[in-house]
Structure 1
Amino acid sequence: MKIAVVGTGYVGLVTGTCFAETGNTVTCVDIDEKKVAKLRNGEVPIYEPGLETLFERNVKQGRLHFTTNLKEGIEGAKVIFLALPTPPGEDGSADLKYVLKVADDLGELLEEYAVVVDKSTVPVGTAEKVRAKIAVKAKVDFDVVSNPEFLREGVAVEDFMKPDRVVIGTQSEKAQEIMEKLYAPLVRQGNPIIFMDEASAELTKYAANSFLATKITFMNEIANLCEKLGADVDMVRKGIGTDTRIGKRFLFAGIGYGGSCFPKDVQALAKSSSEAKYDFKILNAVMDINQSQKTRLIEKAKQHFNGDLKGKTFAMWGLSFKPYTDDIREAPALYNIDALLAEGAKIKAYDPEGMKNVREIVGDKIEFCVDEYHAAEQADAIFIMTEWPIFRTPDFAKLSSIVNGKVIFDGRNLYDPVAMAELEYSYYSIGRKDING
């Protein structure tokens, strides 16, 4: 099948590459000439494990192409995916200007029937808006389908190639048949393709991400309560996670969620609820709690250093919002950088993938280091922001010999507090008893 993917961001590039891997001919379209030139030259602009291998194979075998010309990109395409940015506006609503602009262009360019698919995360009613935009100039029949993505950064290729479910919103039998055929190679193990109306599909994505964000936030609240009551959040997590009604995932306490999806999707759903004149109280609480949770370690640092962080040097391990990605959008590290700099502290940072993106934001306000030990040299304390595997088992003997202060503020609960006490570290984590070595 011939496919077009409009937008070569995170979702678009993964979608296009993975559909090419299943034997389709895919053309990815983007208005960014420099990005398209790099893609044509074999450069993958994002870090995502496994993506580069698939990208190189499908470009080499002639199934994956790139262009800046929308007309050229959609020529002969039976399915056209819209994987465009939907950034939050000042009021929290999803900005649909990019999606609707392309929809407007498609109306004039379509020369034969095609299924136009909203792959971007969009609010309820977007499929109707896209349909209306295309219809103004369309000379041929078409269908608009909602097909939200559920990709987790760091394992997006696996998520796409082995989805636990595929959600498709359409009331067209013809579109359903085409979409079912397209996704059939990815669900051979029996995982479902769930067909529903467009509005329900659009809401499903927001509901899923908002629920997971709520689950994370609830555990962070439990963690904060554990600190007050002398309980251990890790024990509580195990105690409730083995309940099959709750499940083990998304129960780890920490310094809040970040990334490109949870923050803006929760915000967008809250905005949609407000527009529908419904007060979604839980979501408003989730956003408030998550915001304060991001700088929870700053409070602990102020207590340890008697309220004075000025002139202190802090190592920051991890900058991306989660491991196995270079995505720093809404990353807790950014909020902690701002807070520490405001207190007059110096920061030495290391992240395996995220430093380039952070440097573009903060410039030379902090020092970027070659590894975690370089960051820790002469540091008064270490802040752990991201649970990259390399931070889980450091050489503590080496670490102890190069730091100024044996103090760790752990936002991801990587270490055993008892073991840290034996190493004579002052160790502060989330939802567990702080131990001063």
Structure 2
Amino acid sequence: MCTPRTTWRGRGTRSRSRWDCRSNGPRGPRWCRTQSWCRGRRRGPARWRPRWRPHPGRRAPGCVGRVDRGVQGREWLVPSCSKAFERGRGFPVAFPGRGHGTDDAATCQPTGRPQKELTISKHESPEETAARLGKPGDYPFTRGIHASMYRGRRWTMRQYAGFGSAGETNARFRSLLEAGQTGLSVAFDLPTQMGLDSDDPLAAGEVGKVGVAIDSIDDMRRLMDGIPLDEVSTSMTINATAAALLLLYQLVAEEQGVDRERIRGTVQNDILKEYIARGTYIYPPEPSMRLVPDLFAYCAAELPAWNTISISGYHIREAGSTAAQEVGFTIANGLAYVEAAREAGLDVDEFAPRLSFFWNGHKDFLEEIAKYRAARRLWARLMRERVGATNPRSWTMRFHTQTAGSTLTAQQPENNIVRT
């Protein structure tokens, strides 16, 4: 219970009422003042008080930027010039240019406090951290393959798309590019993945289903009509027929007048995971493995900017593996491709820089971060110490990630948006 009492501030001063806090329990008045019903309750410490939040149209203290309302009703500070970065104020929504420098990188938190370019543990010296983890952009690339990572350059954003005819998918691609997408990702129907024409009896009921049907170069022309292939990179999820589809894409790009050096993109070309987890293979494993290094050699000579393979753990994880198994099987497949290419007479430092990986982004956030860091570190050590690659680019694991389809449910469509 709380009882009033009167105190005197000194001679000739007015009295004022305060409250004595009583408690029937052993916790005493200190506990009483933490309760909402206590009339003598004090205001919480300063760290509990809500911080200043900018409102649209107002400026944050000490910042030259303005405040705009962002996604999900949150307000973010958008600096109007680079001086905001120098002052350590503001948080830019838009990232800097495509370079990897850190001079113009975002260096502030939403609260306006300076953000360090690189955070090092307080419990060990910088030398110990460098020896154990390495810095971003340095071997073994645990913390990333670029020094500034996404603070210097945003990742390419592409939505997996493809359905019906080539004309329908082309309209979808144009819509996505107009909406701000920065790359294309082509989904092919099952007959195309299995090397079947649309009029083949075995393709009945599957043509244009959850993917676009491509039977000839005319279909590829319609698919890429009006899309500047010298400005957009294209990822094609194709494996058993990867060589044929890549050639069709190259011919269409050359018809547009695009130089071979400027044709950019990726073919999945990961046939081993088809035997493990997915099933869209045509030939037995041994002849299929001969096609993979053939594509490595062709792209090294003709399409130097093309990623020749996307070694995929995504499908293995979707088939039921754990995160550790996903890394283990995928890196084992990667080493098998490297050895097959070396047996075919290819120099590892000529094809290894164009290898790429494809990981599953599952719902355990911290486990996924640890998975990516461990995979980068493991691949770098294997390529340098076991394979003997000498080019630092051959040690880096460049990868693409998609959120896990197995975490989605038909009963919770709105939660699916958050999960993806």
TM-score, normalised on structure 1?
Answer: 0.22
The normalised TM-score by structure 2 is 0.23
Larger CA Rg, structure 1 vs 2: 2
| Between structures 1 and 2, the one with greater helix share | 1
